[in-house]
Amino acid sequence: QVQLVESGGGPVQAGDPLRLSCAASGRTFSRYAMGWFRQAPGKEREFVSAISSSGGTISYSDSMKGRFTISRDNAKNTVYLQMNSLRPEDTAVYYCAARTGWSPYPSRSSVYDYWGQGTQVTVSS
């Protein structure tokens, strides 16, 4: 059982960077694969990125690859999402998620067992 808390969201201007953090409770964080998803108003929740428990395997959605970078610090029980060159269409609530071990389908929200409350990112033009 793990609790996830996202932070770092807020209002930014187009072109700016932003770093999101997801802090996890528990002593077994290093066993969890972590994912980032986002949901804009009126749209389906979409996959952003995922990282394996060791950090050795990383997955990105095609539309965000090259601008966003996922990383983790197991000593701090934290996963990060570095977002660069933000665009208004990146405006959404960003959620982190966790599951035990890596899934062959990391982009599917259904494979994750735990979810944070989300953090709002608003990008103005």
pLDDT digits (tens, 9 = 90+) for 70-79: 999 999 999 9
AA identity, residue 67 = R
Residue 54 above 90 pLDDT?
A: yes
Report whether pLDDT(69) > 90: yes
Q: Which of 16, 20, 2 is nearest to 79 (CA)?
A: 20
| Residue 89 to residue 72: CA distance in whole angstroms | 25
| pLDDT score at 11 | 98
What does the DSSP 8-state code read for residue 111?
G
CB atoms within 10 A of CB 23: 16
Give me the pLDDT at residue 41, please: 92
Helix (H, G, I), strand (E, B) or coil at 35: strand
Q: What value does the mean pLDDT take over residues 4-25?
A: 97
Distance CA 49, CA 27 (A): 23
Q: Give the C-alpha separation, 69 to 46, whole Å.
A: 16
The model's pLDDT over 94-116, given as tens digits with 9 standing for 90+, comes to 999 999 999 999 999 999 999 99
State yes or no: pLDDT of 28 exceeds 90: no
Task: Identify the pLDDT of residue 18.
Answer: 98
Residue 2: what residue type? V
How much is the pLDDT for 78?
97
